Structure 1
């Protein structure tokens, strides 16, 4: 190559890629690979990761959960309770582990648990569960988009077979195509059993999308582009759709707080508590808040961290609607609904391999 010949951008990119150093052991989950990464970081940063490199679990237990593992961090875990729960499945007194460094959080939760327990317990209910994945299909015209939307509605039984073929837990309950110009968002709505289901429903929907691509071609339609997810599922986001229709588990709880408990434990009069709530509700409305709550995320984040739930789902799981009103002259009726609590007891870290 002569000095006058310009070097292409592609050539420069390839040269730059070859010169980028990589953390060793990519794709390897062995203890040997972990030690190599620690040595590499120590050399490159001159920082000895003494505390981080100490782990209390087998590195193989986080396979498919944590890439390029180097160690673990220690988070303080406290406990709140007992909380008396009157539910269909959960009954009796329960204790909540909370991983946090926020001072007074656990004390506040424990105070609330005491008030609820003294009032006879919290009446809790699991109302339903739905997990959503929403691929997008782009066509050449609105007319074609409308034809495709009808095709989706007419093919539910076949799509259901394809979607459920890859999972023991995912059950496709409905499909809702939404036409937006020449594009169609298709909401796949699943029940996922004891699993949270985000990754599960992605795989299930991918299988269904591949079937739909063949069906589109058979019908002579031209598919310009498609995405496995185009943001209509609201994954890990706060939206009114999740608040109204739900995503994950919808749960609700209520309790009648006698005035004597409110005064003794919460240190206010019932009328003061309800009056303050009304001002909080007004502030929520004026700010455009989705729902009405008082820092649900603090408790959700602490419990998720302590129990191995997906911390990235704290955002949407903290959508809630708190309601307080005077029930009679000296008692406060209180209820809380969480419409999009994304939790699971099977799959990923929820299996408890690290946390047991």
Structure 2
């Protein structure tokens, strides 16, 4: 049957430059709905303070216009043995079949042998401002001077936060620039904004002090990408950006065959392909789904995923 054709040109106003448009009737509702949403969105954008006002310094959260729903799946249960014993259920913000299946089967396999063990090793969050100098000699002079500045940096940091604690400042010279890596602990918070504000305050207090006047500093910026923010990096394996955690467990050949559908030799062969490159690790696929469910922004998951899987074989007599 030939579909009925309807003129929807009136729906396109105020887009009068468009010629007459003829579409099947079953397109009318979707097209009209999209046009209405577009017009409403234009009104919303025009009303945003960042678009309406020239002065934007008082805006705290910019251009937030709503929220979206994300599908949710579960990988569970899994018993965790750490400082306490607890059975947990892992929510994943995805319905991607093989991802959810892989995580669920992994949990089931480890649960069959009693769960896994975990331990938190260290904690830290970094920001690495970069200072530029007239000459390499000036850069080296500042490099040797940085360790003496930690107490004054720490005093500035404590003015900005009740929770941020400056643990270490470590300078690194690259040509006429010195990248100073500030490493913090941030209490129970993730702390990305906290350490940015604290580092900026510490650096500004230093740059406006008399101690900086004769050092030959010609430029400063709050981050020179030395902290590996929002990206995978072996640097985040050496100095964790967040909490460094080790988790381990044992799988028997019988469990692998019954639950995973392969023997232990084949499993080791497959996973060993990912050992040398964290970008290929299954954690880089699964963790964004887990962290998104916890409210963590997806663009910030990359540095958290720096790590890998280490396999070992042994026989229990």
User: Would you call these one fold, judging by a TM-score over 0.5?
Assistant: yes
Q: Which of residues 305, 312, 317 is equivalent to 1:325?
A: 312
Equivalent residue, structure 1, for 2:300: 313
Q: Which of residues 269, 277, 301 is equivalent to 1:275?
A: 269
Q: Equivalent residues in 2 for 1:1-356 (5 A)?
A: 42-43=38-39, 64-65=60-61, 67-89=62-84, 91-215=85-209, 219-278=213-272, 280-281=273-274, 285=276, 289=277, 291=278, 294-328=281-315
Shift of 1:104: 3.0
* Superposed CA offset, 1:162-205 (max 9, x none): 12221121110010111222211111011112111111000000
Distance in 2 between residues matched to 1:317 and 1:156, nearest whole Å: 27
Equivalent residue, structure 2, for 1:55: none
Distance in 2 between residues matched to 1:328 and 1:321, nearest whole Å: 23
Q: Secondary structure at the match of 1:324?
A: coil
* Superposed CA offset, 1:95-148 (max 9, x none): 011111312322221111111111111101111111111111111112211222
CA contact (8 A) 1:77 1:99 kept: yes
Q: Structure 1's 215 and 294: CA in aligned 2 closer, same or farther, altered over 3 A?
A: same
Structure 2, gaps ≥5 residues long: 1-33, 43-58
CA contact (8 A) 1:271 1:326 kept: no
Distance in 1 between residues matched to 2:63 and 2:130, nearest whole Å: 32
CA contact (8 A) 1:262 1:269 kept: yes
Find runs of 4+ consecutive structure 1 residues off by over 4 angstroms.
38-41, 216-219
Give the aligned CA root-mean-square deviation in angstroms: 2.5
Q: Secondary structure at the match of 1:325?
A: coil
Q: Secondary structure at the match of 1:321?
A: coil
* Superposed CA offset, 1:229-272 (max 9, x none): 11111101112211222211111100011222112111111222
Distance in 2 between residues matched to 1:215 and 1:39, nearest whole Å: 57
The size of the alignment, in residue pairs, is 268
Normalising by structure 1, what TM-score? Answer: 0.69
Normalising by structure 2, what TM-score? Answer: 0.77
Q: Structure 1's 44 and 180: CA in aligned 2 closer, same or farther, altered over 3 A?
A: same
Distance in 2 between residues matched to 1:153 and 1:179, nearest whole Å: 14
Q: Secondary structure at the match of 1:195?
A: coil
Q: Structure 1's 45 and 128: CA in aligned 2 closer, same or farther, altered over 3 A?
A: closer
Distance in 1 between residues matched to 2:186 and 2:36, nearest whole Å: 41
